[in-house]
Amino acid sequence: MEREYKFYGWKDTDIKPVNEEYAIIGNPRVLYDVLTEIWSKESKTVDRSLATAFVTQDIFGGNVYGGVLDGGDYHCYNVVDGHVFDLTSEQLLDGALTYDTEHEQLREEHLSRKEIYDYYIFLKDE
């Protein structure tokens, strides 16, 4: 039985890794499968979009975009060769974010925050 995916853009993720080190991760759906085993059971995708988006960028290339949600938190997603997908979208309410390419997010800015950087390293090491 094939898995049913619910993350934003899952149907448009036939993207290969740009780094041979990650060749075993064939596409973002495979990465999602791996991450769902790593994310904490209590929060699954909550507050994980920044680190997840930058790990995804390391593997598949492209750019990270995002926006500010109600409450001031950022939510990030990936755009690779015109394919827009958000492995952590299940934490959002429908319509909570507009997926566009207007607000690129820079790793230098977000990974300067210790808690985000530490989680980014944790995900990469797993």
The pLDDT value recorded for residue 93 is 64
Q: How many residues would you count in the chain?
A: 126
Q: Where are the domains of the chain?
A: 30-125
List, for residues 14-73, the tens digit of each pLDDT value.
899 998 899 999 999 999 999 988 886 655 555 588 999 999 999 999 999 998 887 777
pTM of the shown model: 0.89
List, for residues 80-126, the tens digit of each pLDDT value.
999 999 999 887 766 668 888 999 999 999 899 998 899 899 888 88
The kind and range of the H/E element at 85 are strand 83-85
Contact 49, 88 (CB under 8 A): yes
